[in-house]
Structure 1
Amino acid sequence: MGRVFKERTSVNEALQLFLESFSSLRHTEELPLEACTGRVLAEPVISGRDVPHYRRAAMDGYAVRASDTSGASPANPVFLQLSDEVEEGTSIWVHTGAALPEGADAVVMVEDTFTSGDMVEIRSQVYPGKNVGQIGEDIKKEDPVFEEGHLLRPCDAAVLASLGLDRVKVFRKPVVAVIPTGDELVSRDRAGDVPPPGMVLETNGLMASLYVEKWGGIPRYTRIVPDRPESIKEAIQANLDADMILLSGGTSVGKRDHAPGVVESMGRLLVHGVGVSPGKPVALGVIDEIPVVCLPGYPVAGLVALYFFVRPGIRKLGSVPQLPETILRKRLTAKISSKIGYVNFIRVIFEGDRVRPLTGAKSGALSSVAKADGYVLVPEHIEGYEEGQEVDVFLVE
């Protein structure tokens, strides 16, 4: 490879090329409901029973025949006798969720009654079915409950449990190999020692691994690999059983930047150089049908590549549905300047109902992301935004 970027690809085009280069995983596994939250259903769920499977009281009160309450009001109450069964002129006390007694077709709320001895004063007329949960009112037998591809939440697990299920079939999580590269990196096993000048603790791999886990993947965080093509190649070969490979560092055009060239020698290099700032040196490829992302070594540039390419890549592999992102509309307290031809990732801090851009925050300053509440994406065709202008703010995950 030459020592310059072959070309600068737009973010949207780069993402499309990347996502089209691999297929979703179709491997499945069965999990207990207790472990299914955040997983994706691998098959539709059809109800095998009615929920509820019996008529039940929807309120605390008295089960009655609705016809016995005709005309009842506070000024003109109807008196019914407490009994062990419901028939003409009688009633039975019921709790919420209790089976409705035979002969009853309604429940009078306790608030609309007054009890004295074995007589109940009914102060409200009810109609058949009032305050009664009918069989199958929630879910009917043979009803479709969830479709394949549904992202399961805790409330969904409760619905599945109500159907009598204790396990569910979901798509397997993608395994993502995270391979940090760089002669300047020091293992965090030695975090207690201050590295000598020119050496830094390896933190990008940690960040990438945690985001992989957050987005639904299983990270495989490897040892640090030296800046040598043969070493990077060996690390990739050792992880070709993964579903995605992330190489952190060595993506630019310097003498020690070998990652894109190694990917190209082993498979297809789809993109090297993307119109995003920070994050231009990102490279995307595929080896043996396994997607590969080469993350820039500067921490914020690497984070941008994670957001723009790794997150959607994991979602495609795991068949995770695309959910709408939380976007806030806020006014700027100061002007934002940006590069034409690049999508600019601008970190911002909330100040009341406005946002303030973080100035002087370079791509090597990861703490600027930790300080930020969110970020603004300035499109490639816009020079920036003026103070007071309303912008879309994405939350930092």
Structure 2
Amino acid sequence: MKSKIIRKRTKLADARELLLNSFTPPDSCETIELNDSCGRVLAKDVIAERNVPHYDRAAMDGYAVRSSDTVSASDSSPIILRATDEISEGSCVRVHTGSAMPPESDAVVKIEDTSHKGDLIEVHTQVHPGKHVGYTGEDIKIGDKVLDAGHFLRPCDIAMLASIGINIIEVYRKPVVAIIPTGNELVKRPSQITPPPGKITETNSLMAGMYVSKWGGKPQYCDIVPDNPELIGQVIESQLNADMILLCGGTSVGERDHVPDAVDSIGKILVHGIGISPGKPTALGVINNIPVICMPGYPAAGLVCLFEFVRPSLMKLAHINKIRTPPLQARLDRKITSRIGYVTYTRVRLENGNAIPLMTSGAGIMSSVSRADGFVVIEENVEGYEEGEIVEVELIE
């Protein structure tokens, strides 16, 4: 058995880079219905096979005209045209936004630039050819590349794809994340019975799985594994069909903390001990091109690990290049401190533009996470922030 002393504390940025450089994302794809494609990533370029619009259309409510019939029209000297069903010299046709342009017409006079007396229409402004007309292919032409491979599909993108007649789309497969909770103290949920002293309800896999789903992955839940290195190793090996393995608990240096050694016996531990608080015992590894993230059992530490390591790894696996939501700025309600050498995550609540600190320590206090709106992240070379300072708050999704 290897020594469980955490011999080296790796900087956060270095640890994340080591992890992300240790694997390559799979290229496996699937074809799905367009209606189910929100939040997925295109696997191939999309080439338009239909013009948008596919006909010449009116872009305003009004009258379709021959522009040459409106020369010199003005409020003081309107041109009079006759409203008919077809365009000819001296006539016009009533159209609505989106109406097909009648043959021989080349412009639209807005309804507010006209007045009428029966079927006689007074035109109060001159229009040039193409005025208020949307021509065939003006938006998208057949053969245009409308979206690149790797594009993260949003509702507006999906609506655009529907407009060119696409009903199915090829996307990258959702990465499968095996989630393995470990610990003799854990009790499987759901249970209406309060666990006896020394036992707790297992909830880390629930939190982790929901974030995996939110970030574009597919959770693959495993049963609780006791603090037994052989059993932990067996379960890890049984999950090597996944794209990522996430272990919850068993990462510290106690007698029952076997997870990092179990991973190292099958693959390679890249980092054990990271300069983050909470979350120092986090371990990161790789097995056969599969990233393995060993998050601490305390909920607040586990949440930091999810945001800092699971999310970026999952984004890479899913081919998602989406930019993270920028932090909010708020005024600090009171002073907060940190340890030099550690990136510190202070849980805060937001109220009327103020960031109210809840906790810096206390990684096991789950309520401090659920009451928090986000974290104030204190960099490793900063001792803290004073009351009244403007700070950035990373929101808890």
State the alpha-carbon separation in 2 of the partners of residues 222 and 359 from structure 1. 31
Q: Deviations over 1:306-354 (max 9, x none)?
A: 1000000101111111413221122211111001000001111112122
Partner of 2:165 in structure 1? 164
> For 1:82-123, what per-residue CA distance to the aligned partner results, in whole angstroms no more than 9, with x for missing partners?
112112100001111111001111111112222222111212
1:1-397, aligned counterparts within 5 Å? 1-190=2-191, 192-359=192-359, 362-397=362-397
Aligned partners of 1:329, 1:387: CA distance in 2, in Å? 14
Counterpart-to-counterpart distance in 1, 2:184 and 2:93: 80
Return the alpha-carbon distance in structure 1 between the equivalents of residues 391 and 66 of structure 2. Answer: 61
Q: Distance in 2 between matches of 1:272 and 1:52?
A: 57
User: Deviations for 1:211-245, whole angstroms, at most 9, x for unmatched residues?
Assistant: 00000000011111111011111111111111111
| CA spacing shift, 1:382–1:282, aligned 2, 3 Å | same
Describe the SS at the equivalent of 2:190. Answer: helix
Aligned-residue offset at 1:261: 0.5
Aligned length: 396
Indicate conservation of the 8 Å contact 2:345/2:360, yes or no: no
- Please state how far the C-alpha of 1:154 moved relative to its aligned partner: 0.9
3-state secondary structure, aligned to 2:30: strand
Question: Deviation of residue 360 (structure 1)?
Answer: 6.5
- Cα deviation for residue 29 of structure 1 reads 0.5
How far is the alpha carbon of 1:258 from its aligned partner?
A: 0.3
DSSP 3-state at the match of 1:372: coil
Give yes or no for contact 1:361–1:368 (8 Å, CA) kept in 2: no
Q: Residues of 2 paired with 1:220 and 1:359: CA distance?
A: 32
| Comparing 123-132 and 302-311, the one that deviates more | 123-132
**Post-superposition offset of 1:48:** 2.1
8 Å CA contact 2:359, 2:368 repeated in 1: no
Secondary structure class of the residue paired with 2:223: coil
Task: Quote the Cα distance in structure 2 between the aligned partners of 1:303 and 1:170.
Answer: 29
Q: Deviations over 1:252-282 (max 9, x none)?
A: 0000000000001111010000000000000
* CA shift for structure 1 position 361: 5.5
What root-mean-square deviation, in Å, do the aligned CA atoms of Structure 1 and Structure 2 show?
1.1
Q: Give the Å deviation of 1:3.
A: 2.8
* 1:341-380 Cα shifts (integer Å, max 9, x gaps): 0000111111212211114661001211111111111000
Partners of 2:371 and 2:33 lie apart in 1 by: 39
Which moved further from structure 2: 384-393 or 324-333? 324-333
The whole-number CA distance in structure 1 between the counterparts of 2:169 and 2:377 is: 39
State which drifts further: 71-80 or 149-158. 71-80
Preserved contact between residue 82 and residue 92 of structure 2 (Cα < 8 Å): yes
Aligned residues of 2:278 and 2:361 also touching (Cα < 8 A): no
- Contact 1:82–1:118, Cα closer than 8 Å, also in 2: yes
Superposed CA deviations along residues 111-161 of structure 1, whole A, max 9, x for unmatched, are 222222211121222111111001111112222211111000111111111
Query: Which SS does the other structure have where 1:358 is aligned?
Result: strand
- Identical aligned residues as a percent: 54
3-state SS in 2 of match to 1:394:
strand
TM-score of the two chains, using structure 2 as the length reference: 0.98
CA distance in 2, matches of 1:234, 1:3: 20
- Deviation at 1:386? 0.9
- Structure 1 residue runs of 5 or longer lacking an equivalent are none
Q: Which moved more, 1:85-94 or 1:140-149?
A: 140-149
Matched position secondary structure for 1:188? coil
Secondary structure of 2:364's aligned partner: coil
Equivalent residues of 2:347, 2:357 under 8 A apart: yes
In structure 2, distance between residues paired with 1:296 and 1:336: 24
Distance in 1 of aligned mates of 2:23 and 2:146: 30
Letter in structure 2 aligned against 1:300: A
Task: State which drifts further: 2-11 or 324-333.
Answer: 324-333
Q: Equivalents in 2 of 1:216, 1:209: separation in Å? A: 11
State the distance in 2 between where 1:108 and 1:32 align: 41
Scaled by the length of structure 1, the TM-score of the pair is 0.98
Alpha-carbon shift at residue 35 of structure 1 (Å): 0.5
Does the CA contact (< 8 Å) of 1:47 and 1:143 recur in 2?
yes
Answer yes or no: is the 8 Å Cα contact 2:346–2:359 preserved in 1: no
Q: 1:322 to 1:96 in 2, by over 3 A?
A: closer
How far apart are the structure 1 equivalents of 2:101 and 2:290? 59
